[in-house]
Amino acid sequence: MAPQYYDVFFSATTNSAAGSQSTSPHIRLLSGSNVSTAVKGLYAAGKSGTAGGGQIRMITAATAFSSMGTGYTPTKRNPGYTAALTSAATATTCTGNTTTVRASVGWAQTGGMGGWVAIEPDAAVILTQGGGANGNMEISSLSNAASINVDLTVEFSEG
């Protein structure tokens, strides 16, 4: 079966302390019980901020987070796809333990976009099926000014 593609979009605000990573992730992904998730794209675009830059971070955790936050239904890239089995959440309130930053992408606070894309299938960040230690991802941000608005997009496939 060919992979099916999905995305999660969220408008967030960076930490109220300049230069500090958001205390709770903006987006969370947790793989489904019988499917792996391949994260293939991460994008950020600042909105109406002051001059300067920010970073969006893709983070995995050795121990998955304990609560998901506000549930979010991933959008199908093709309306004919089945619903995603990967759980997504926004506006989350806690992080996993023993985290590892997998990618950090820069963006301009005044409106510039930054992004990362897997250049081939084996370059994707794989979240193994069943969630847990190898099946979770968090997306957090930081910026050199406090409370910058940013649009975030995560693209992934299943199958």
Mean of pLDDT values over 95-116: 89
Residue 29 has pLDDT above 80, yes or no: yes
Task: Give me the pLDDT at residue 66, please.
Answer: 67
pLDDT tier for residue 159 given thresholds of 50, 70 and 90: confident
Give the pLDDT of residue 133: 86
Q: Which domains does the chain have, with CATH numbers?
A: 4-158 (2.60.120)
What pTM was estimated for this model as a whole?
Answer: 0.92
All residues at 6 or more sequence positions from 38 whose CB lies less than 8 Å from its CB, including other chains: 3, 118, 121, 124, 125, 126, 127, 156, 157, 158
- Give the rounded percent of residues in the chain with a pLDDT score beyond 90: 65
Q: What is the pLDDT of residue 90?
A: 86
Above 70 in pLDDT, residue 24?
yes
80 vs 118: CA distance, rounded Å: 24
* CA atoms of 19 and 107, how far apart (whole Å): 14
| DSSP class per residue in 104-136 | EEEEETTS-EEEEE-SSGGGSEEE-TTSGGGSE
pLDDT at residue 67, as a whole number: 67
